[in-house]
Structures are given as C-alpha cells and as structure tokens.
C-alpha cells in the first residue's frame, strides 16, 4: 500500500451540491429555494417562528434556576487513579494534590478543584489533598490504607478585591486598618 493508493470507502464522501448551474442539474435558476418570498432570500433566520402560532418556547412555563454559587469540579474516579499509579504517571507514595493530578493529566481541568468519585477499585495506599470527595470514594481510599483530606476550594485573594467596593476616605481607612494589622503581627 502506498500513499497514492489510500482512499475513503465507497460512499463515505458525497460530491458537493453545486446549485445555480443550469436547469439540467435540477438545482439551477432558483437553487432549490423555490420562488420569491422571505425564505428564498439570503440572511434569513426564522428559528422559533411558527407562522403566528404561539411558539413552543412561549407556550411552556419557565422552570428552575441557575445556582450562581454552584461549584464545578473535575471528576476523578478511584479506578482511574489506580490506573495512573500502575502506569507510573503519578507517584502514589507522595501526597497527591490537585495541581499534581492536573499536571499528570489524570484530572482534566482545574475548574473549582478535583472531586474524587468511588467508581472502580483502589489497591495502592495513597494520601490525597483535594477539594471534594464522595463517601464511597473516601471509604475506598481508607480501605486501601490511604487518607483523604478534603479542603474548601481555594480562591486567590488580593488587596484589590478586598477593597473593591470601598471608595474615598473609607477606602483609605480600610487600607490603613490593613496596614496596621500587618505591622502588629
């Protein structure tokens, strides 16, 4: 087999539909859009319009809400953690933190931290410092002789965010108070 002999399976690709190329093609003249009217023109979006009938998104009631304080964790199953230890991607003898798990590619993204789930089996003794874990996951880790420390998701605070809503002399007082607190320590 050579590079010039490689091709898709028959029927895997279809030829591009060339419209407006003569009446013999079947899609000439009006390009298959019919005669006149709004839908034959370009730049038309009638999504959700049902001909004057009350559309579905208005017939149905609003439901639920979005919790602005919800946390989005990167999920990690106990079985996947064991696979990573077996493959020597992470060192099970060290205390495993969120940063280490993300760097090793075991947890997908940082988000609000890592949540350990109990699916799978853990044989290695590991110590974890993560943001969240289910009861089953903690039980699985402790059964293997390990330990899970659950800490609240960390948010980096800086001086600007602490005095963000304070203006004028009150801001100056807040800064003086913070400086006095630092010098007292």
Which domains are assigned to the chain? 74-150 (3.100.10.10)
Name the pLDDT band for 53 (thresholds 50, 70, 90).
very high
Name the pLDDT band for 133 (thresholds 50, 70, 90).
very high
pTM over 0.85: no
Q: Are 66 and 58 in contact (CB under 8 A)?
A: no
Mean pLDDT in residue range 148-175: 68
Q: Are 91 and 49 in contact (CB under 8 A)?
A: no
């Amino acid at each position: 087999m050579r590079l010039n002999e490689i091709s898709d399976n028959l029927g895997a690709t279809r030829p591009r539909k060339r419209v407006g190329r003569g009446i013999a093609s079947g899609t000439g003249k009006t390009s298959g859009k019919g005669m006149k009217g709004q839908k034959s023109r370009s730049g038309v979006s009638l999504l959700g319009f049902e001909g004057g009938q009350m559309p579905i998104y208005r017939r149905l009631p609003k439901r639920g809400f979005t919790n602005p304080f919800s946390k989005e964790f990167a999920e990690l199953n106990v079985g996947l953690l064991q696979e990573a230890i077996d493959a020597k991607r992470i060192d099970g003898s060290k205390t495993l933190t969120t940063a280490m798990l993300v760097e090793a590619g075991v947890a997908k993204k940082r988000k609000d931290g890592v949540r350990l789930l109990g699916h799978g089996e853990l044989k290695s003794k590991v110590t974890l410092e993560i943001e969240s874990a289910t009861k089953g996951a903690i039980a699985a880790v402790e059964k293997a002789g390990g330990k899970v420390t659950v800490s609240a998701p960390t948010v980096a605070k800086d001086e600007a965010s602490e005095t963000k809503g304070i203006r004028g002399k009150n801001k100056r007082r807040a800064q003086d108070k913070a400086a006095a607190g630092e010098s007292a320590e």
